[in-house]
Amino acid sequence: SYELTQPPSVSVPPGQTASITCSGDKLGDRYACWYQQKPGQSPVLLIYQDSKRPSGIPERFSGSNSGNTATLTISGTQAMDEADYYCQAWDSSTAVFGGGTKLTVL
Amino acid sequence: EVQLVESGGGLVKPGGSLRLSCAASGFTFSSYSMNWVRQAPGKGLEWVSSISSRSSYIYYADSVKGRFTISRDNAKNSLYLQMDSLRADDTGVYYCARDQLGSSDYGMDVWGQGTTVTVSS
């Protein structure tokens, strides 16, 4: 079965750029999405089709996808961005989520 | 307001059954494919099942295939998940989620608040 691998945790000082990676076999040949989930809340779609932002998502969130790796980049990271982040892609009509990355802003 | 509201969760014994519902409002439900996604306590997101707008295409995760059944009633703007032969590892929060623009290519853009399922003796 298809797997997506994320680092369990990433730390970033406030105001700096955070990068969260998601690795999977030929992931660049598929569309990748990214979700943010804060404690006790439902997930929120941040990025779809590798790099597109739904309305209402701040411009500091951006995405890319090439080769075997998709990357979520958060520019000018704010304290409110501290959350769990999940990548997701489809494989043979099955949705696959990465294991999630806890972003700490410190 | 676009909204999804899940219900039907609860405590059930191993081997038991439960039926989850998801009530949609604020959008044309019949135009969107829908998903169930779950999250075990302290764990990540796990896709469970999806159904196309007219129920023509239905897919399941291997972990629930043969035990869970997804369905929808477009006249009632509702999505369902019938869960049978429940196991302890089915415990978690179950979310319904909408495929943006009615296609899985665009991500899941609307999520409910979740309903909690606990399988324990």
Residue B88 three-state SS: helix
Tens digit of each residue's pLDDT (9 = 90 or more) over A73-90: 999 999 999 999 999 999
pLDDT tens figures, B19-62: 999 999 999 999 999 999 999 999 999 999 999 999 999 999 99
Choose the closest CB to A45 out of B44, B57, B109: B109
Q: Does B105 touch chain A (CB under 8 A)?
A: yes
CB A68 within 8 A of CB A26: yes
Give the pLDDT confidence score for residue B101 in this predicted structure: 81
Best residue in B62, B65, B96, B106 for a mutation probing chain A (most A CBs within 10 Å):
B106
The answer, yes or no, to whether residue A35 has pLDDT greater than 90, is yes
What's the rounded mean pLDDT across residues B82-100? 97
Average pLDDT, chain A: 97
pLDDT band at B105 (very low <50, low <70, confident <90, very high): confident
Question: What's residue A101's pLDDT?
Answer: 98
Average pLDDT of span A62-67? 98
* 3-state SS record for chain A: CCCCECCCEEEECCCCCEEEEEECCCHHHCCCEEEEECCCCCCEEEEECCCECCCCCCCCEEEEEECCEEEEEECCCCHHHCEEEEEEEEECCEEEECCCEEEEEC
Condensed to tens digits (0 to 9), the pLDDT of residues B63-75 reads 999 999 999 999 9
Neighbours of A55 (CB within 10 A): 5
Q: Does B111 touch chain A (CB under 8 A)?
A: yes
B64 neighbourhood in chain A, CB within 8 Å: none
Categorise residue B62: left if φ over 0, alpha if ψ from -120 to 50, beta otherwise.
alpha
pLDDT above 90: percentage of residues in chain B: 94
Q: Report how far apart the first and last C-alpha atoms of chain B are (Å, whole number).
A: 39
Task: Please give the pLDDT value at position B103.
Answer: 81
Cα–Cα distance measured from residue B66 to residue B21, given in angstroms and rounded to the nearest whole number: 19
Rounded to a whole number, what is the distance in Å from the CA of B113 to chain A's nearest CA?
A: 6
Specify the pLDDT at position B104: 75
In Å, the largest CA–CA distance within chain A is 39
Does residue A106 have a pLDDT over 80? yes
| Record: contact A54-B57, CB cut-off 8 A | no
In this predicted structure, what is the pLDDT of residue A63? 98
* Residue A85 backbone phi and psi in degrees, to 5: -125, 135
Cβ within 8 Å, pair A42-B114? yes
CB-CB neighbors (< 8 A) of B44 in chain A: 84, 86, 97-100
